[in-house]
Amino acid sequence: MDMPDLNLDAVDFWEILYKNKPSGSNGRPSRVLERFLIDRTPGNALELGCAKGDDAVWLAKNGWQVTAVDISKTALSYAEANAQSQGLADRIDFQQHDLSVSFPDIRCDLVTAMFLQTPLDFPRTEVLKKAAQSLNSEGLLLIVAHGSRAPWSWAKADKTYFTARESLRELNLEADDWEEIHVGEEKRFARGPDNQKATVTDAIIFLRRM
């Protein structure tokens, strides 16, 4: 689909985007999420930018009590229906926030931010810093971002992509307070909205608060 008008405010931009998408999802969580979290002891999880809820559903299925946030009420309604269809609605609290304005008032054992990226102005680093501070001791922070431009991306051809290490530096976390479990780039085979195929790079940051 075409990108909604970039002059819209963030709420309207994402609403239009999701209203033009089918409500169903492919039911598959992010592979990085599965890979890094499958063996972890569940607790309270916060997911930032949950879209249609496949990651939140996977977390809930694996024992986590999840707070799942998105700016789009329509995305949240799709995500809630997704959770309900799997009998997991009571394990996920869906909350609407524009994260540049408000942030859930919770402490948690895991924060995930998978491709929390937008073509609009967005204080992503500040939001991720808040996310890091919302973690309990021993809590896990999993951030995955696009590290390359997919051929079908809306991003400008000359957009700069940061490495995981560069993004981690931006977060300015106190090194002694965090264990680096994984910080780096990985390539992945991906399909675009019209079934285009490409190899893309993900920049992955996975930390544990000490």
Told to check if 100 binds ligand SAM by CB under 6 A, we report yes
Q: How far is the CB of 10 from ligand SAM (least distance, A)?
A: 5
Told to check if 66 binds ligand SAM by CB under 6 A, we report no
Integer angstrom CA distances of residue 117 from 32, 85, 143, 177: 17, 28, 11, 26
Which of the 8 DSSP states describes residue 2? P
Q: Among 75, 177, 175, which residue's Cα sits nearest to residue 116? A: 75
Could you tell me which residues are beta bridge partners of residue 179?
208
Told to check if 111 binds ligand SAM by CB under 6 A, we report no
Q: Among 144, 116, 111, which residue's Cα sits nearest to residue 44? A: 111
Which of the 8 DSSP states describes residue 175? G
Told to check if 98 binds ligand SAM by CB under 6 A, we report yes
Q: How far is the CB of 110 from ligand SAM (least distance, A)?
A: 14
CB nearer to ligand SAM: give 177 or 199. Answer: 199
Told to check if 97 binds ligand SAM by CB under 6 A, we report yes
Told to check if 153 binds ligand SAM by CB under 6 A, we report no
Which of the 8 DSSP states describes residue 150? -
Site string for ligand SAM, 113-142 (x = CB under 6 A): -xxxxx---x--------------------
Query: Which residues between 176 and 205 bind ligand SAM (CB under 6 A)?
Result: none
Whole-angstrom distance, CA of residue 142 vs CA of residue 91: 20
Provide the binding-site residues for ligand SAM, judged by CB under 6 A. Answer: 10, 14, 30, 49, 51, 69-72, 75, 97-100, 114-118, 122
